[in-house]
Amino acid sequence: MSEPIVVTDAVRVPGHALSMRAVRASGPGGQNVNRVATKVILELDLDAIEGLTGEQRARLRLLARRRLDARGRLVVTSQATRTQARNLEDARDKLRALVQAALARPRRRRSTAPSRAADERRIAEKKHHAETKRLRARSPED
């Protein structure tokens, strides 16, 4: 069991809900990459997060939809550094940031309309463009 991830005073991820696996990382690293399991895979049961409202939980599922496995668990990986401990901390930070993002309520979009002056400018530009095209056309006498 690992230690809990505190997101805010009210929201936290309990340690028992997290499971960590270490595997060999891909990419450059010389001989070390073939011997040491430094890539960290952190799995979390989303229902175990404490302090989320239903709306926040739904937003988290939406934000994490590409990171969910077949069982509905959130999977976060990190292989950014050469040590397992720093990759674990990086994965925990990614998880914290994802839950933090789900807490923020998105701003509602207010629909706006163009101003009367903008409409008039658009119409004037269209008329100017049409006049330019009309003047380029062949005259009936040709």
Instruction: With CA atoms as reference, report the closest residue to 15 among 40, 49, 41.
Output: 49
pLDDT digits (tens, 9 = 90+) for 82-140: 888 999 999 999 999 999 999 988 899 999 999 999 999 999 999 999 999 999 987 77
Q: State residue 142's pLDDT score.
A: 61
Nearest to 79 by CA among 110, 33, 113: 33
Q: Are 11 and 52 in contact (CB under 8 A)?
A: yes
Q: What's the pLDDT score for residue 46?
A: 87
pTM of the model: 0.71
Structural domain of 54? 5-103
Within-domain flag for 134: no
- Within 8 A by CB and 6+ apart from 80, the residues are 86, 87, 90
What share of the chain in percent tops pLDDT 70?
A: 97
CATH number of the domain residue 89 falls in = 3.30.160.20
Of 15-29, 37-51, 123-137, which range is least confident?
15-29
61 domain residue, yes or no: yes
Whether 37 has a pLDDT exceeding 70, the answer reads yes
Task: Return all residues near 128 (Cβ < 8 A) that are at least 6 apart.
Answer: none
* Domain assignment present for 125: no
HSE-up of residue 15 (Cα within 13 Å, Cβ side) = 4
pLDDT value of position 112? 93
Q: How many domains does the chain have?
A: 1
Rounded to the nearest integer, the mean pLDDT of the chain is 88
Tell me whether residue 130 is in a domain: no
83 lies in a domain?
Answer: yes
User: Which contacts qualify for 26-34: CB closer than 8 Å, 24 or more apart?
Assistant: 26/79, 27/79, 29/82, 32/82
The answer as to whether 141 is a domain residue is no
Among 94, 95, 1, 85, smallest CA distance to 38 is for: 85
